[in-house]
Structure formats: structure tokens, C-alpha cells
């Protein structure tokens, strides 16, 4: 039995978790900073790193306490060290190094994006109930978050090849920006999702960007602009004189609901069409796909969850969607994937660095 302490500080959630043998979550503590960033309607990096510094110690203590595990009893320390906000990542990486050194335990550096694709494997302790099935490979992976919208061919949990990515905005970013255009409160994604559930997704014909006929890449900036123009009209005037004649205040409640629903229908449709295309291409190349696995903040989206399940039934592919608490940033996914890495001897030393960009 291996118990790993995971640490996550890549953006605006301070997380610590104890996971047993890669999948069984003994504790998962997340201190969200939404309250601190709300009035700026987005994450302020300087505020985020300061808050991680204040909160990480107590969050780690609480994760040990809830799991009923002594710090000395953990088998390894794992940290999400890439990609993310550099000032935020440094807090987690420094803490993990200090713990690994003081306790003389292995240190594992985990890629945050890969960890999102591990999240669907996590489950909680329920006495004798058998664990839910784990993701089978080869798999198609879709990461949909505030920073990423990427498709992967997965030969295993750490063997990934990018086959498509966004050429402009990430889908979570498009959600957050559309929410600002519709004057919804922060955090935008979940609030837009909620409002969309009450509207008519066919009311506005927003674009589903497919790019080239073979392309597996995504584009969401056209959709975002279409929502902007639908809400505020086309800009009048040129250069510094340009202005909009309408604002979100001019919308009726019904229009606002229908705009949210139509945005959501277009965004999710674009994702599903690309998954379909990827499976078609794999089939044409004689490759089988056992599973579709999704992860990242937008995998909490109600319509996407519904549509990927339908997709799985239609195409005869097992679909893995994380439990809601493991969709958004959390440390359980870091500790979980670290177990795979540890088994393969993929261990870091004290030269481990925080890396803002890159990874898969």
C-alpha cells in the first residue's frame, strides 16, 4: 500500500490530498480563492501566490488529519510543478521539496494537464464496495480547462500525444469571457452553465468552428465575438472612436438566458464534433479506442457531461468523466498520477523547478 501526499497550487486553488495506491482518495482539501479574485473578475497572480503561501500549511495539516495519516507515514510527496502561474507554482514546489528533504521521501513532479486526465480514476473509501473501473487504454483524452483545450491519444496514463489543441482561446476562457459579456458574476463558467439550463440553445445560431476538414484543433474566439456582437451590436465608428450602442443591461432576462444556452450549445457541439472526428480518423487508420476520458474545469459542465455520455453510447466507447469534486483543480489528481510515475521510477530530486508553460 502506497500513500502519497499531493500538493496543488498552479492557479487559484490551494490543494492538498492523501491518495492510496493512485485511486483511493483518503482526503482532498481545496481552499478556493474565488472570494479574493471575484471583484477583479479574474485571477490576479500576485494575490494568488500570496494566498497560497498563507494557506498551504494549514491545508496540508488538514489533509493529513482528515485522512488519519501521520506526516511521517506518507510514502512520497507529489507536487503539480507545471504548467501554471509561476508565482503560484513556486509556493507548492518549495513546500514539496522542503517536506521531501526533511522526511527523506521521494519527490514526484507532476504535469497538471496530465493529472486532469487521471482524475476520472479517483474514488473515495467506501468499506467493501469494489472500486469503479479504471480507464482502459488506448484512450482518447480531452482536457477542457481555463488554460487548455486539447485532445490526446493516450497509450497509457503518462504516454500522451497531442493530436489537437486550441489555436486561440481555451473553452473555459471562452466561458469566462462570455460570462463577462453577459454580465454574470465571477466565476463565469459555472454561472453561465446554470443560466444556460434555463434558456433555448437554438435561439441564436452561433458558429461551431471546425477549421480544416481534417483538423482536430479548436477555435473559440469567433464564438466569443459572435456573443459580443449579439449582446452589444456591431461596433460603430473607427479606432479610438469605436463604441457599442447597446450593453448587457439592455437585454431582457429571456434574451440573456437564450444567449447563454446558445453559447453553451455551440461550445459543447464544437467539442463533441472534434471527438467524433478523432474517432473516425482512428478507425480509418485501423486503431481501436477503448475509452474516452475527459478532465479539467469544463468537464464539470452539465451539457458536456450529458453529451459525452450520449457519445459513448452512440460509438460504443467507455466514457470516463471525473466526479464533480475532481473536475476543478485539486491535489488528489496530482497524488494519484504520481503513483503511476513512482512505479515507473519517474522521481525528481531537489533541483525540481516550477515551469509556467509547456508540459503536454
Residues that bind Zn ion (CB under 5 A): 145, 329
Q: Shortest CA distance to 76 belongs to which of 162, 172, 182, 5?
A: 5
11 binds ligand KG4 (CB under 6 A): yes
Among 27, 59, 149, 175, binds ligand KG4 (CB under 6 A): 175
Find the shortest distance in angstroms from Cβ 259 to ligand KG4: 15
172 binds ligand KG4 (CB under 6 A): yes
- Which residues inside 311-330 make contact with ligand KG4, applying CB under 6 A? 328-329
- Which residues inside 127-166 make contact with ligand KG4, applying CB under 6 A? 145-147
268 binds ligand KG4 (CB under 6 A): no
- Torsion on CA atoms 320, 266, 203, 251, rounded to nearest 10: 100
15 binds ligand KG4 (CB under 6 A): no
* Cα 49 to Cα 93: distance, rounded to the nearest angstrom: 12
How many Cβ atoms sit within 10 Å of the Cβ of residue 187?
Answer: 23
* Cα 49 to Cα 55: distance, rounded to the nearest angstrom: 10
Among 121, 150, 289, 301, binds ligand KG4 (CB under 6 A): 301
- Which residues inside 190-249 make contact with ligand KG4, applying CB under 6 A? 190, 193
* Cα 338 to Cα 77: distance, rounded to the nearest angstrom: 9
296 binds ligand KG4 (CB under 6 A): yes
* Cα 101 to Cα 304: distance, rounded to the nearest angstrom: 42
* Cα 302 to Cα 66: distance, rounded to the nearest angstrom: 30
204 or 218, CB closer to Zn ion? 218
Find the shortest distance in angstroms from Cβ 12 to ligand KG4: 8
Tell me the C-alpha to C-alpha distance, in Å, between residue 24 and each of 21, 100, 115.
7, 22, 15
Grid cell digits, residue 156: 497509457
Find the shortest distance in angstroms from Cβ 175 to ligand KG4: 4
Among 115, 271, 298, 337, binds ligand KG4 (CB under 6 A): 298
Task: Catalog residues that contact ligand KG4 under the rule CB under 6 A.
Answer: 11, 145-147, 172-173, 175-176, 187-190, 193, 296-298, 300-301, 328-329
Amino acid at each position: 500500500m502506497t500513500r502519497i501526499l499531493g500538493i496543488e497550487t498552479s492557479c487559484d486553488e490551494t490543494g492538498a490530498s492523501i491518495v492510496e495506491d493512485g485511486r483511493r482518495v483518503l482526503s482532498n482539501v481545496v481552499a478556493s480563492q474565488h472570494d479574493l479574485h471575484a471583484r477583479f473578475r479574474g485571477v490576479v497572480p500576485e494575490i494568488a501566490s500570496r494566498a497560497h503561501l498563507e494557506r498551504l500549511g494549514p491545508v496540508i495539516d488538514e489533509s493529513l488529519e482528515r485522512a488519519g495519516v501521520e506526516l511521517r507515514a506518507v510514502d512520497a510527496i507529489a507536487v503539480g510543478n507545471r504548467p501554471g502561474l509561476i508565482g503560484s507554482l513556486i509556493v507548492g514546489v518549495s513546500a514539496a521539496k522542503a517536506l521531501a528533504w526533511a522526511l527523506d521521501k521521494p519527490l514526484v513532479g507532476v504535469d497538471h494537464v496530465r493529472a486532469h486526465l487521471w482524475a476520472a480514476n479517483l474514488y473515495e473509501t467506501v468499506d467493501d464496495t469494489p472500486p469503479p473501473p479504471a480507464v482502459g487504454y488506448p484512450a482518447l483524452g480531452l482536457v477542457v480547462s481555463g488554460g487548455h483545450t486539447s485532445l490526446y491519444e493516450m497509450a497509457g496514463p503518462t504516454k500522451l500525444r497531442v493530436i489537437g489543441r486550441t489555436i486561440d482561446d481555451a473553452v473555459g476562457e471562452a466561458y469566462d469571457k462570455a460570462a463577462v459579456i453577459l454580465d454574470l458574476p465571477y466565476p463565469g463558467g459555472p454561472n453561465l452553465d446554470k443560466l444556460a439550463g434555463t434558456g433555448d440553445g437554438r435561439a441564436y445560431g452561433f458558429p461551431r468552428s471546425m477549421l480544416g476538414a481534417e483538423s482536430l484543433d479548436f477555435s473559440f474566439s469567433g464564438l466569443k465575438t459572435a456573443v459580443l456582437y449579439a449582446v452589444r451590436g456591431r461596433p460603430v465608428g473607427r479606432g479610438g472612436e469605436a463604441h457599442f450602442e447597446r450593453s448587457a443591461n439592455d437585454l431582457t432576462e429571456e434574451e440573456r438566458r437564450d444567449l447563454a444556452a446558445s453559447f453553451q450549445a455551440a461550445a459543447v457541439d464544437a467539442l463533441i464534433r472534434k471527438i467524433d472526428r478523432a474517432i473516425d480518423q482512428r478507425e480509418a487508420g485501423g486503431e481501436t479506442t477503448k475509452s474516452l476520458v475527459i478532465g479539467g474545469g469544463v468537464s464539470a459542465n452539465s451539457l458536456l457531461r450529458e453529451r459525452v455520455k450520449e457519445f459513448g453510447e452512440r460509438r460504443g466507447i467507455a466514457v470516463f468523466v471525473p466526479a464533480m469534486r475532481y473536475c476543478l483543480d485539486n491535489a488528489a489528481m496530482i497524488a494519484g498520477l504520481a503513483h503511476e510515475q513512482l512505479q515507473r521510477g519517474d522521481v525528481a530530486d531537489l533541483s525540481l523547478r516550477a515551469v509556467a508553460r509547456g508540459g503536454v
